[in-house]
């Protein structure tokens, strides 16, 4: 995994490569069946299904598309409202906006960067249809509270679980707690198939319709199972199934699920321990993992004093050939967010905390030597 390149420059991210992918890819190529739902798709989905105990896991072309499928399954219509945090990726909102929904953003908690569960209920109106939660950095939202609110008001819960494959909340796997869970296997995530994702259907009731939506609105799956004698267009749908080539690339990573996770966790723990002193001296803040939650080390972030300090620190890292990045301009302050959504209540933490957050390099195979170099850079910076 470690090559000379990293002696010169420490990348922010790189996707796992396990050295057998070529063999799997050639197997698919030679089989002549490179479209979706073949052997590797089946293998990947069954591993995920076992790991999550979800009623059904379907591989998709992306997490964005898994979110879109969720929005269709929630029957989101024009002018329905969906509650979500503003501190997230555009896809969380896109999926619902595509169905005509209005987005209602609520503030985040400053400790986890997750939606503040205490602010959800006051944002509910008679148009609210769903709550979309994002488990930021692979750390769970306060799901018991959120599920209770959803039950009380008869709302769907969609988990944007792009960051948290393998994280848990009170022993439940994230993505398997709400009605739908959406995984990402994009290159930047813990497990990757280039572009791809999965939808977790947590109730058997949604399986049949989900299979139809994923297959352009046809009952093709039933036809192949011999349950109907011809296949036809039965519902609205799209093309949400990935190619076998992508699934073949993902397979070995899923077989090495724990190995990849443990490698990341070990880098995460190393960062945390090494930076604790800077946090104790109140120079930076470190991530917080609530009691009862385990995470998958999707990212390691620190928070600086403010935006000015973060900008200087990024420059310092760049000077030392280390790529540290920030992300997510809060959606409510983006052009599309202003058009398609509104912020309910006060933005106390969303903007302020998003401007302080800086992600440090994190990937499978990140060497201890490089983590040390990154940590040293931080100590030097704060000595000044």
Instruction: Assess 261 for contact with ligand PLP (CB under 6 A).
Output: no
SS3 (DSSP) at 35: coil
Binding residue count for ligand PLP, defined by CB under 6 A: 14
Q: Supply the DSSP symbol for 321.
A: T
User: Quick one: which of 24, 40, 87, 89 contacts ligand PLP (CB under 6 A)?
Assistant: 89
Among 86, 176, 184, 350, binds ligand PLP (CB under 6 A): 184
Q: Is 295 in the site for ligand PLP (CB under 6 A)?
A: no
* Binding of residue 134 to ligand PLP (CB under 6 A): yes
Scanning the chain, the segments in alpha helix (DSSP H) are: 5-8, 21-31, 39-52, 63-73, 90-97, 143-153, 207-214, 220-224, 244-255, 257-280, 307-319, 335-340, 350-356, 368-383
* One character per residue 39-68, x = contact with ligand PLP (rule: CB under 6 A): -----------------------xxx----
Q: Is 18 helix (H, G, I), strand (E, B) or coil?
A: coil
Q: Are 277 and 377 in contact (CB under 8 A)?
A: no
Q: Is residue 163 a contact point for ligand PLP (CB under 6 A)? A: yes
Question: Segment contacting ligand PLP (CB under 6 A): 85-93, 118-126, 253-261, 365-373?
Answer: 85-93
Rule CB under 6 A: is residue 159 a binding residue for ligand PLP? no
Q: What is the DSSP letter of 152?
A: H
Kindly state whether residue 197 participates in binding ligand PLP, applying the rule CB under 6 A: yes
Kind and range of the H or E run holding 199: strand 197-201
91 interacts with ligand PLP by CB under 6 A: yes
Closest distance between ligand PLP and the C-beta of residue 107, in Å?
Answer: 17
Q: Closest Cα to residue 312, out of 380, 368, 259, 244?
A: 380
Q: Which is nearer to ligand PLP, 197 or 337 (CB)?
A: 197
Rounded least distance, CB 268 to ligand PLP, Å: 17
* Best CA proximity match to 154, nearest among 130, 178, 134: 130
* 160 part of the interface to ligand PLP, by CB under 6 A: yes
Rule CB under 6 A: is residue 186 a binding residue for ligand PLP?
Answer: yes
130 binds ligand PLP (CB under 6 A): no
Q: Which residues of 90-120 are buried (b: 16+ CB within 10 A; e: fewer)?
A: ebbbbbbbebebbbbbbbbbbebbbbbbebb
| Residues that bind ligand PLP in the complex, under the rule CB under 6 A | 62-64, 88-89, 91-92, 134, 160, 162-163, 184, 186, 197
């Amino acid at each position: 995994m470690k090559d000379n390149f990293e002696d010169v420059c420490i990348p922010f991210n790189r996707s796992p490569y396990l050295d057998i992918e070529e063999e799997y890819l050639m197997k698919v190529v030679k089989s002549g069946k490179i479209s979706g739902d073949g052997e590797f798709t089946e293998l990947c989905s069954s591993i995920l299904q076992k790991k999550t105990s979800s009623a059904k896991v379907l591989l998709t072309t992306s997490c964005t598309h898994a979110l879109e499928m969720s929005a269709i399954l929630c029957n989101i219509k024009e002018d329905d409202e969906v509650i979500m945090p503003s501190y997230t990726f555009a896809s969380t909102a896109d999926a619902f906006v595509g169905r005509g929904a209005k987005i209602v953003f609520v503030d985040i908690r400053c400790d986890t960067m997750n939606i503040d569960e205490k602010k959800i209920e006051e944002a509910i109106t008679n148009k609210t249809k769903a709550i979309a939660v994002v488990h930021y950095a692979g750390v769970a939202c306060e799901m018991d509270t959120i599920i209770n609110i959803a039950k009380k008001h008869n709302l769907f819960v969609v988990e944007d679980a792009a960051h948290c494959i393998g994280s848990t909340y009170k022993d439940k796997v994230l993505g398997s707690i709400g009605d739908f869970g959406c995984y990402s296997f994009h290159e930047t995530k813990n497990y990757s198939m280039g572009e791809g994702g999965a939808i977790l259907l947590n109730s058997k009731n949604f399986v049949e319709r989900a299979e139809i939506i994923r297959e352009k609105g046809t009952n093709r799956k039933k036809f192949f199972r011999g349950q109907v004698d011809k296949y036809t267009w039965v519902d609205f749908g799209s093309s949400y199934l990935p190619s076998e080539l992508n699934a073949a690339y993902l397979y070995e990573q899923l077989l090495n699920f724990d190995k990849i996770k443990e490698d990341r966790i070990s880098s995460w723990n190393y960062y945390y321990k090494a930076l604790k002193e800077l946090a104790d001296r109140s120079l930076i803040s470190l991530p917080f993992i609530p009691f009862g939650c385990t995470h998958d080390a999707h990212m390691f972030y620190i928070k600086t004093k403010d935006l000015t300090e973060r900008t200087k620190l990024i420059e310092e890292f760049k000077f030392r050939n280390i790529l540290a990045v920030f992300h997510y301009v809060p959606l409510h302050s983006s052009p599309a967010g202003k058009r398609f959504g509104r912020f309910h209540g006060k933005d106390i933490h969303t903007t302020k905390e998003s401007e302080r957050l800086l992600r440090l390099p994190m990937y499978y195979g990140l060497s201890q030597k490089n983590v040390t170099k990154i940590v040293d850079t931080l100590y030097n910076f704060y000595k000044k």
